[in-house]
Amino acid sequence: MTHLENELQAVKKEVLSMWYLVESQLEKSRTAMLHFDRDLAREVVLKEKRVNAFELKIDRDCENIFALFCPVAVDLRFLLATLKINNNLERIGDIAEGIAKYIIESSGDFDRTLFESTQVLRMYEDAINILIDTRMAFEKEDTILARSIFKRDEVLDQINREASARVGAAIKEDMTVMEDALYMLSIIRKLERVGDQSKNIAEEIIFYIEAKVLKHQENEGK
């Protein structure tokens, strides 16, 4: 392998390490919500600093490769895509941290019936699985898997669209769940953004492998 190829492989490994950390953050925030584990939620908040450190390191490494090697073609596209994916992953880390903060701030354990009525647990599972599959698409350079993310993100969008009505119905049925219901609505809004960020990542994977720009092409992958 050339020096440039070694540098690109090192960056890819860093991105995958960051990806695993972000997946862990999202999974831990889910577990903390399900079991109302404030200690685990605090761990997620503390580890967000590691996510931020990864983002800065990957940005610097990409900039150094630009400066030293002047990459072209697929190598250039890989670096450009990596810079955007890096930012998307950092934002998903922020989302996991934000959910963890809701758990820390909440006055008590969430009403269990809300998990089912709002579909938040299904949404959480789907969001985590989508993030895992975008990682696999990146790791294996699998554009077919990357394209599958677009359709799956629509499920998260649909749950999000129905969330206000579901939360409103839960509050109408039992006013005592208002605080918990509003937290569920906020968590659903954040999980919908995990889908958006994952879709952005999928677009970048296709860009660097196939040299196709999918941004704003609404019918792509449908």
For the stretch 106-163, pLDDT in tens is 999 999 999 999 999 999 999 999 999 999 999 999 999 999 999 999 999 999 999 9
Instruction: State what percent of residues in the chain have pLDDT above 90.
Output: 94
The alpha carbon torsion through 112, 114, 117, 123 (nearest 10 deg) reads -100
The alpha carbon torsion through 163, 164, 170, 172 (nearest 10 deg) reads -170
Q: Report the topology of domain 3-210.
A: Methane Monooxygenase Hydroxylase; Chain G, domain 1 (1.20.58)
pTM for the whole thing? 0.93
pLDDT above 70 for 220: no
pLDDT above 90 for 64: yes
pLDDT above 60 for 217: no
Cα end-to-end span (Å), the chain: 38
